[in-house]
Amino acid sequence: MKKSVFFGAMTVAGLAAGAAAAATLDDVKSRGKLNCGVSTGLAGFSAPDANGEWTGFDVAVCRAVAAAVLGDGNAVEFIPTTAKTRFTALASGEIDMLARNTTWTFSRDVDLKFDFVGVNYYDGQGFMVPKELGVSSAKELDGATVCIQTGTTTELNLADFFRTNNISYEPVPIETNAEAQQQYLAGSCDVYTTDASGLAATRATFDAPDAHVVLPEIISKEPLGPLVRHGDNGWGDVVRWTMQALVAAEELGVTSANLAEMSGGTNNPEINRLLGSEGTLGEMLGLDADFGAKAIAAGGNYGELFAKNIGEDTPIGLARGLNALWTEGGLQYAPPFR
């Protein structure tokens, strides 16, 4: 009899461990800190600066969520993950959310049991080659040695691209962006391939960025966005709507400069609902009424974050392109806040 009690207790303990993981929002609140998975260092997206502070476009999403939930954009523990370790870290509960240029794919969403809460950067895979090779199209790369970051969708896209074009290549799988960069610069591979934004970010850190060209072919769709564990929809909603709040803020013209003034109340009800002076949207999420205002205060609206971290005036120098608002011909579009 004693044994069956023991087993029963164990089963309950096991199930309780599973159930406890479901209420991430409560965990984050009681911990007072958001555990956010980022990359091990990709300039402009997530990299520590000279003072050891994490900065970047993906980091800004973490900070916005922390601000919305905890009221403090600095209450984030940044956990660097490689392409290989990121999913295990999220699935095991080591991190609450993953904001690490991760491509939204069917199998990751469905089979790996994650929920992508949106797209913060529409990207595509490209190729970078040294100018001296004189290559002008990816279709001329027959027989080339290609450096790839292992554990990413880029490996599969690459295999597909070369197979469709009936040309050969030699893959060199590399664990992190930094190592890949070193191999590429030493000439032990001819081509470096990853998401076009990553190529721009990597090239920006070279001594002579002009000696390298990004080829015109974009061989895949790479919608990058933050993700959370499947099954905890409350937490998924928090991250999703925090991110959408940033986009909505840009749509509605709310910036970090006029935020304080607008928080007091405006004559636009949608802005009022977004910033919490009207309605109970924050309460529905289990957050304060002004969660949107706090998220925007952490770094600015979507457009400001883009311009500050990866925009045309930064060394990364990415154009808005697909990531412009829908009103300007891009794909960024926030569902209504009501």
Footprint of other proteins (CB under 8 A): 6-7, 10-11, 13-15, 17-19, 21, 83-84, 87-88, 91, 107-108, 111-113, 132-133, 141-145, 150-152, 155-156, 158-160, 162-163, 169-175, 182-183, 186-190, 229-231
Helix axis angle for 57-70 and 24-31, nearest 10°, is 80
DSSP result, 174-236: ESSHHHHHHHHHTTS-SEEEEEHHHHHHHHHTSS-GGGEEE-S---S-EEE--EEETT-HHHH
Q: Smallest gap, in angstroms, from Cβ of residue 56 to other proteins? A: 23
Longest dimension (CA), the chain: 78
Nearer to other proteins, 179 or 312 (CB): 179
Nearer to other proteins, 52 or 143 (CB): 143
Q: Which pair of structure tokens corresponds to residue 246? A: 């940033």
Residue 24 is given by DSSP the state H
Give the span between the Cα atoms of 157 and 94, in whole angstroms: 29
* Buried residues in 58-86 as b, exposed as e (16+ CB within 10 A): bbbbbbbbbbbbbeebebbebbbbbbeeb
Q: Smallest gap, in angstroms, from Cβ of residue 322 to other proteins? A: 26
Give the span between the Cα atoms of 34 and 27, in whole angstroms: 9
Q: Smallest gap, in angstroms, from Cβ of residue 84 to other proteins? A: 6
Nearer to other proteins, 156 or 331 (CB): 156
Whose structure tokens read 């490996």? 155
Nearer to other proteins, 172 or 254 (CB): 172
How many angstroms separate the Cα of 85 from the Cα of each of 1, 91, 94, 152? Answer: 43, 10, 11, 11
Whose structure tokens read 């154009």? 319
Q: Smallest gap, in angstroms, from Cβ of residue 176 to other proteins? A: 10
Nearer to other proteins, 171 or 317 (CB): 171
Query: Helices (H), strands (E): how many in the chain?
Result: 14, 14
Q: Smallest gap, in angstroms, from Cβ of residue 36 to other proteins? A: 20
Nearer to other proteins, 149 or 332 (CB): 149
The residues with which 127 forms a beta bridge, in sequence order, are 193
Nearer to other proteins, 6 or 333 (CB): 6
Is residue 249 a contact partner of residue 325, using CB atoms and an 8 Å limit? no
Q: Smallest gap, in angstroms, from Cβ of residue 133 to other proteins? A: 7
Q: Smallest gap, in angstroms, from Cβ of residue 188 to other proteins? A: 4
Q: Smallest gap, in angstroms, from Cβ of residue 65 to other proteins? A: 22
Q: Smallest gap, in angstroms, from Cβ of residue 64 to other proteins? A: 27
Nearer to other proteins, 130 or 321 (CB): 130
Give the span between the Cα atoms of 126 and 216, in whole angstroms: 8
Nearer to other proteins, 15 or 208 (CB): 15
The residues with which 192 forms a beta bridge, in sequence order, are 128, 147
